[in-house]
Structure 1
Amino acid sequence: MIKVKVLVGAIAMAGAALLSQGAFAADISNPDTPLDLSSGADFGGHFITGGHKDDTFADKYTFTLTGASTISADVYSHSGNARNGLDISGLALYNAGGLLLGGNQLSTGETDQWQLDSAVLGAGSYYVLISGHAMSNSSGVYSSGVTVTAVPEPETYAMLLGGLGLIGAMVSRRQRKQA
């Protein structure tokens, strides 16, 4: 009788251990997503259905800059109340060397909002990482936008100043001829 109890106990423990594997948070990240910033902006997002509370995500949005530029990125998630939907926990900019800049959290709770504004970035490959977790077993969604603004090269400013100087010289010469 004791052997049967030990056997039943061992089976119960093995079953509990096997079933408990489903209780761990899953990684529900989107695959790496390339952004097309040729028009100056692109948008992304993540819609989660049938997830589980505490499932985590770290969505990577990759892009390449061909010249000096600044970027601005925003992430927005609205859940209706602070217990459902998604909790956005991070927004950051990376390159091959690692973290360049972290985003600023503007609001949290029913509405999560993050913003990131960069200094001048050189040509190269970058990615924006949006991280967070599911607050409940219900669905959740976030939307994001990335905007790129080209920064003129120093040579462009030199040509602008040179052109203004030539225009000034022409105006001055014309005024001397009329006098």
Structure 2
Amino acid sequence: MVAASIIAASTSSLAVAYQISPNPNYGDIVIFSDDEAENYLTPFENFGFLIVASSATLRNYGDLQNHGYLWVGDDWGGADIENHGSLINHGLVVFGRGNDHIYGGGLISNSGRFVGDINKSGHDTIEASALDNSGLFDVNSQVIINGEVTNSGDFINHELHVGTFVNTGSFQNPFATSNADGYSYTQFYGETVNNGEIEFMFIDIHGGSLKGTGTLVGNVNIGSSATVIPGSSPGTLSIDGDLHSSGNYVFEIAGVNSGQYDVLDIDGNAFFTGGNFKFEFIDGYLPSPGDHWDFLVADSLNGFDTVGFTFAGLGDGLGIDFHNEGGKISLTVITAVPEPETYAMLLAGLGLMGFMACRRKLKEAA
């Protein structure tokens, strides 16, 4: 195996950036304190140890693939990886105890282990244009992703800022079961697609959309600018906790059988203060009188009379009857009954028709 250690000047003002080598690396590459190193290779593959020591900087403009061990920072201070290309981890990435940073707007992909020091006193920051995790991502850091996070593995973090979060794995807050305040999953815009499990003490969706067939573990708040779309054309979205909502919901219905319509299943209490429920009949399905769906289930239901309802695809002459039985809300298609005003107009019209017929008969008799 080939080993390489690189030593540079002792101060950053004298440091000259250089290409890390050899490639591939099966030994040790150490970027010492105050040193600056670069990678332009596509790919650069590390099967050994790549260590970015405290106060050092590694700039990546190529495709940096780690199959071995990548250490960022140390016990004496933080380090920086300026990522303008792709940082792909199949091995182990570890943050030290200092203030470590990965930034630069590149891509991060993890199928291995991406972990931080849980005993650290510093605060890390990870920034990227997109992040794809199919392994273990467990970093007590501020994570800022300007584009999309796709998670099919285990994602553990307490401060995520993201445009779109697509989850088919597990997303947890390490403090979700503690009594500490302020640990929440918060969304002001964008989209969360959860087909796995998201667990936080508080899940606050102030804006944007929330959709999927997964489970939200924690107390959920849906703001007035947010839209919830249970299921995945269609399916069931579950909440293991209480729901407080002033937002909007879209339920898709493609039939009367289980799995053909959306369901919001709440293992807790539901509190509504306004908002709107829209029901869309999709895939060519035409409802008939007597069709029935249990679309919302909760331990208890409060404020449901403050919610508005709209329907798309409900045929002419049909109406909807809502029924609440112990927290289970169902809707049934019925034949619409004309309002009293409609009856009055109908009778007036019939009377006018009779009067005109009588006048015609009188004229003919004359």
Structure having the higher helix fraction is 1
Same fold at TM > 0.5: no
Q: Normalized against structure 1, the TM-score is what? A: 0.33
Structure having the higher strand fraction is 2
Q: Normalized against structure 2, the TM-score is what? A: 0.20
